[in-house]
Amino acid sequence: MTTHVAPARSIGILGTGSYLPKEEITNEEIARRVPGITAEWIGRRTLIHGRRYAAPEEATSDLARHAATAALQQAGVEADRIDYLIVATSTGDAPLPPTSSLVQNDLGAHRAACFDINIACAGFVYALDIARALVALRPGSLALVIGADLYSRFLDYDDRGTAVLLGDGAGAAVVGAVPEPYGILDIELSGRGDVHELIWIEGGGSRVPASADTVANGGHFLRMRGRGVADFVMENVPPMIGPLLARTGTALDQVAHFVPHQANGVLLGELVQRCGLTAARTHTPLVKYGNMGAASVPVALDEASRAGLLADGELLLLAGFGAGMAAGLCLLRWCVPGVGAQAGVQTQALNSRTPSAPFPPALLAQKECAQ
């Protein structure tokens, strides 16, 4: 599906924020928990060397609140000015109430209409498109878009295909009017429900309600068919780029930054080549934080922004893809955040952070590691 929103003004990102839990989980620790693998094996096949796990008292709404606070501070916006609050997550605090309602209450964003969307790792890009449309329809309004997931509570350590990849985190963006020619140029979304069986959590819904049997049988763990997921990404994401660039009159070599979902480092290396984006800087915080689900894109975006890696006016391509299956691309012209970023606003959520390096060219040749 292609979305065509023609706002009367440019809509873009006014500020970003992110939060990573304090507990660092190394590959050595994962290798102790997962039978039959080593730390070297994890690093070679995924390029991931660490991930963060939430503290026992933390839930997805807590991660989301921290990221949202940082984004609001950078944008110079008070929480009570937010008109729409959207949380993209597949690991909400509970089936009800919506996680967005909990975040709204914690932030004091009492004017905001709030709702969740669950499109897993594509969720942040989908939520950006919804926010863009809502803000365009109500001039002067503001949206707070959050991607947050807490996968460490859904891992089966006997399943090395998922346990080595996933971590916890949250990222956020304040969306509103920006001066032309900045802002979101266009967004391309795609859904493939015919391959929904590639990533799933079986238990806990209306079809397979939670019971002693679903718990005993591991029905509440996240499952994934890794090879099928990789094939989906390679077959579906690259063809989406051409139409998006054509509609915006953009040449591929004009894209300065690629900010993809942090699925797997080897997979991303191949995707960069398939998309013809080798001249762009690919941002890969997965090296430190692993696959954070819906948080992956906004965390990568915030880290790059705070490190000063995104120059004013540069073109960015955001890419989310995952369970559903679903994929989303967002092409935007970056507007460097104003007062908050220039003043070097820092929060506890961002302490001791280091920027991602560009995707190392030498790693692009490691396709065989994913096989």
Residues with a catalytic annotation lie at 121, 261, 291
> Tokens standing for 90?
């597949």
CA 171-172-176 angle, 5° bins? 160
Helix (H, G, I), strand (E, B) or coil at 143: strand
> Tokens standing for 40?
């070297």
- Distance, in Å, from the CA atom of 108 to the CA atom of 105, rounded to the nearest integer, reads 5
> Tokens standing for 188?
């391309």
CA-to-CA dists, residue 204 to 150, 200, 349, angstroms:
16, 11, 31
What amino acid is encoded at 337 in this protein? Answer: P
CA-to-CA dists, residue 279 to 225, 248, 302, angstroms:
31, 19, 21
CB 52 within 8 A of CB 23: yes
CB 137 within 8 A of CB 129: no
